[in-house]
């Protein structure tokens, strides 16, 4: 997979919905009904963060849900990439980018949404062939104003802002021409997951899917 191919694959995936749910799954048995609720609500692209022992099993379960496109988040090293691919992840997401991580994703032909927070980091990734980036942590790193500032000197880049974004602020990000989608954790509140309230999560997904692009 060439850099252009990986970029196009990411653009295609991230264009499927305005919001990517960023999920922390503590128990593998809730992965499938959680994914079903989100997908049926109009959000097919799901990011499962590798922050719990259940993460890889959750990716595998969600990958079996019709219509779901599952990515692995919080990739930190080459081992994470191999395990995510084996579990059925279609793409990866990282909070930042290191030479070893970028090299491993290229060798594995695994589309990666690498994280950046500054203009220099964005330029470095662009120089390495990446044009679709995760802007993280979005709110702490300047939010919408930062994206507006980057649009002039770096017009060829597209972003998925993540970090501190909620339903009330997502629309402002999505209004920026260099934003493909946003990532957010508000779609799967821990109390609703604990209550197995999949209808409530489906409603949150439906509301997010209606956000203006």
- Give CA–CA dist 213/211, Å, rounded: 6
- Give CA–CA dist 141/53, Å, rounded: 29
- C-alpha dihedral, 182 to 188 to 191 to 196, nearest 10°: 170
Q: Which of 9, 47, 57, 206 is catalytic?
A: 47
103 is catalytic: no
57 is catalytic: no
Q: Which of 127, 134, 206, 207 is catalytic?
A: 134
- Give CA–CA dist 97/102, Å, rounded: 7
Exposed/middle/buried for 124, CB within 10 Å: 0-12, 13-18, 19+? Answer: middle
Long-range own/partner contacts, residues 66-70 (CB < 8 A, 24 or more apart): 66/39, 67/39, 68/35, 68/39, 68/44, 69/13, 69/16, 69/44, 69/45, 70/35, 70/46
Contact 49, 24 (CB under 8 A): yes
- Give CA–CA dist 54/34, Å, rounded: 14
Supply the residues annotated as catalytic. Answer: 47, 134
């Amino acid at each position: 997979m060439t850099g252009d191919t990986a970029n196009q694959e990411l653009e295609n995936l991230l264009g499927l919905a305005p919001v990517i749910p960023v999920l922390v799954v503590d128990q593998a048995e809730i992965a499938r009904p959680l994914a079903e609720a989100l997908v049926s609500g109009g959000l097919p692209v799901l990011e499962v963060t590798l922050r719990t022992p259940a993460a890889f099993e959750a990716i595998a379960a969600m990958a079996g849900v019709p219509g779901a496109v599952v990515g692995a988040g919080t990739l930190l090293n080459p081992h994470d990439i191999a395990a995510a691919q084996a579990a059925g992840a279609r793409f990866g997401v990282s909070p930042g980018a290191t030479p070893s991580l970028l090299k491993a994703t290229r060798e594995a032909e695994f589309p990666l949404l690498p994280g950046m927070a500054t203009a220099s980091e964005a330029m470095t990734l662009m120089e390495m062939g990446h044009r679709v980036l995760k802007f993280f942590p979005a709110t702490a790193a300047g939010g919408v104003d930062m994206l507006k500032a980057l649009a002039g000197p770096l017009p060829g880049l597209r972003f998925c802002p993540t970090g501190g974004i909620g339903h009330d602020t997502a629309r402002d990000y999505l209004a920026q021409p260099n934003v493909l989608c946003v990532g957010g954790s508000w779609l799967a509140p821990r109390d609703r997951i604990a209550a197995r309230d999949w209808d409530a999560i489906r409603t949150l997904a439906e509301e997010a899917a209606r956000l203006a692009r």
